[in-house]
Amino acid sequence: MLKKIAMAGPAAALMLGAAGAKSVEDPNLWLEEVESEKALDWVKAKNAETLGALEADPRFQPMYEEAKAILNSTARVPDGEIHAGFVYNFWQDADHVRGLWRRAAVKSYRTGSPKWETVIDYDKLATDEERNWVSGSRVCLSPAYVRCMVELSDGGKDAGYWREFNTDTKSFVDGGFTLDEGKSNFAWIDEDTLLVGADLGEGSLTSSGYPKAVRVWKRGASINEAPTLAEGAESDVAVFPATDHDESGAHVFAIRAVDFFGREFHYALNGEGAPAKLPLPQKSDLFGVLDGRAIFLIREDWTYRDVAYPSGVLIAYDLKSGEAEIAFAPNANQAIDDNSVSIGKTDMIVRYLDDVSGKAARLKRNKKTGEWAFTPIDLPANGVVKIISAGGGTDDAILSYESMTTPNALYYVTAKNKTSKIMEAPAFYDATGVVVEQRFATSKDGTKVPYYIMAKDSVLKAGNAPTVQYGYGGFLNPILPVYYEDPSRPQHGALAGKMWVARGGVLVLSNIRGGSEYGPDWHAAALKENRQKSFDDFIAISEDLIATGVTSPEKLGAIGRSNGGLLMGAILTQRPELYAAIDCGVPLFDMKRYNKLLAGASWMAEYGNPDIPEEWAYISQYSPYQNLKKGVDYPKVLFYTSTKDDRVHPGHARKAVARMTELGHAPYYYENIEGGHGGTANQDQLAHRTALEYAYFAHMLMGEE
């Protein structure tokens, strides 16, 4: 199926912009020199201070052991992707810290006790090659799924090295396709032809640091000689390839990302001839091709051939006739996001949100009438539904269900929509007496903003409890009440349940504007000059928690990372009196310079361009670095980042700490030397950082033990 570019991905190397771009007014610019001896000495000193304080808390070590037990548990549910009769899974545990890429036959997997065979052992590979390899992306040729391009990341960076791999022989291909470190993108046309976007030296990258062109790379040829299929402008975010295969051949797309959300789609069957630009709106997501129709989610209103199509609907576009039709139209309380559709052999599965509660259905087109049949898939209600795998040459699928108190369960759904539970994870914490409620706060402009609250019932009834409120609010990312999804995210129910809720704490998930909980309009409402609405929503939830007696300013903490780190910086500088603790991870912080650092230029469609005076006028109102002031009683913040983060520059967090220190404050600061934008490179490092975070909250909100 389609390979999607990680559009928030970083540049491979620091881009400081034009000469003279550095402001002489900022005494902390030296901290942007990531690997300089002076900067690293500063980092080591700060790390020693923070680790010395937080690891000394008597709750840290038990929390660390709890986190390791969950993250390395062999009882976790092994989700996977269906391809060519196998279910492929990536697995990490205490014995496989870097991870295994493995597979089991579908028949074996459906028993609930799959017999795995290792495809790649990343720990062994790293040892054999004496490299700090971290697993990256894998792009394989469908439907056989034998030829793959495998990415190896040095220490967890987004930039990676690529090598061709054969899943039949379970080995790298001698003399196969290889590409040195970079932010490359691949798609297969056939076993001897790749589409590739790569860093080929001067002039080959956009100002955001991504490939500017898609080339057709034939086996045995030099990539420098590969002809260009499509090329964009330097001001674009990227140009990247995608393919989908059916009986017609290879459906080839060259996708020009003119900004973070705007895309032009150029199509050529089998990559033959110049790709033709499709008349789709720029704010669209492509999921694949079904029966000659490209399936798109449109994120803006679109009028085409005198028919009006509203934002947020699923479109089927006939690649031959150019006709368009609606395959699914969510109602006002429903939303589809960019990971919500998977194309099968003859139909597709869509996952959608209904007031942030997950549901799924099968969509199938009647070839005679042109109507789309909508058949719900039978899954538990009031939780999170995910499409783990669908397609791979079949209409069968694997879906999952979970909630903050219900462990993940995997369901096998046949082509006839028969659903059976394959396996489920054990409980990683005792949820007896734990309740999850959805509530709504009223934001500054009157908008009703939902949030989830998770705590022991007795704790909620007693009131004034230590509370951690999580938020993100950007880039169309919905915050869902999961049990075990991406464990590096704070909404991870199992870790929070064991390390925080079990100790009498309250966890809150904020569904603020900027995400996609209610579709594209929920995101658009907080773009650029309206960014403050996202911050207002978060603050409104904080105030609601206090007004309803859940907590108090003395016991309220906040947590966010990446764009959520920017959110933390905004609430820190705007409403510091509301919070006793703020955990600010891998943050954007200096919004005057964000577009000059790493991949920052690719996010100007979200925030605006600080080099344009009219746009800096509104960005400057919330940019945390410029709004820190003397004489303000800020809470003691925990900042963390990674030296290897090549997405959000570690200089943001470093300079935030330096500026706060200059103003007389003493924030905690931790910088992992490895880990990329995730902040960690393996499960043990993630367990350590998570324990630091909750030990910090326990110390700040629960007091001495």
The yes-or-no answer on residue 562 being catalytic is: yes
Whether residue 337 contacts residue 476, with contact meaning beta carbons closer than 8 Å, is answered with yes
Locate all alpha helices (DSSP H) within 433-506, ordered by sequence: 457-462, 493-499
Rounded to 10 deg, the angle between the 563-574 and 651-662 helix axes is: 20
Whether residue 631 contacts residue 661, with contact meaning beta carbons closer than 8 Å, is answered with no
Distance CA 253, CA 191 (A): 17
Q: What are phi and psi of 461, to 5 degrees?
A: -70, -35
Whether residue 286 contacts residue 265, with contact meaning beta carbons closer than 8 Å, is answered with yes
Q: Which of 187, 234, 231, 229 is nearest to 209 (CA)?
A: 234
Token pair for 417: 């929509």
Rounded to 10 deg, the angle between the 683-697 and 37-54 helix axes is: 60
Locate all alpha helices (DSSP H) within 338-412, ordered by sequence: none
Q: Which of 135, 137, 357, 562 is catalytic?
A: 562
How do beta strands 668-672 and 638-642 pair? Answer: parallel
Match 């399936």 to its residue by tokens.
295
Token pair for 419: 């659903």
Q: Which helix (H) or strand (E) is 54 found in, with range?
A: helix 37-54
The yes-or-no answer on residue 677 being catalytic is: yes
Q: Which of 46, 41, 18, 19 is nearest to 30 (CA)?
A: 41
- Looking at 562-650, which runs of residues are DSSP E strands? 581-585, 638-642
Amino acid at 168: D
Whether residue 67 contacts residue 499, with contact meaning beta carbons closer than 8 Å, is answered with yes
Report the DSSP beta bridge partners of residue 438.
Answer: 452
Output Rg (C-alpha) for the chain, integer angstroms: 24
Listing from the earlier edge strand, what are the strands of the sheet with 185-190?
185-190, 193-197, 213-218, 228-231
Whether residue 569 contacts residue 624, with contact meaning beta carbons closer than 8 Å, is answered with yes
Give whole-number Cα distances, 12 to 198, 313, 609, 697, in Å: 11, 35, 22, 34
Give exposure, 394-406, as e/b (b: 16+ Cβ within 10 Å). bbbbbbbbbbbbb
Rounded to the nearest 10°, the torsion over CA 54, 59, 62, 63 is: -70
Whether residue 523 contacts residue 515, with contact meaning beta carbons closer than 8 Å, is answered with yes
DSSP annotation of 205: B
Rounded to the nearest 10°, the torsion over CA 115, 117, 120, 126 is: 80
Q: Which of 251, 677, 688, 699 is catalytic?
A: 677
Amino acid at 639: F
DSSP annotation of 131: S
Distance CA 248, CA 317 (A): 16
Q: 87: Cβ–Cβ under 8 A, 6 or more apart, which residues?
A: 80, 81, 103, 104, 105, 106, 109, 114, 389, 398
Instruction: Classify the C-alpha dihedral 115-118-122-127 as positive or negative.
Output: positive
Catalytic residues: 562, 677
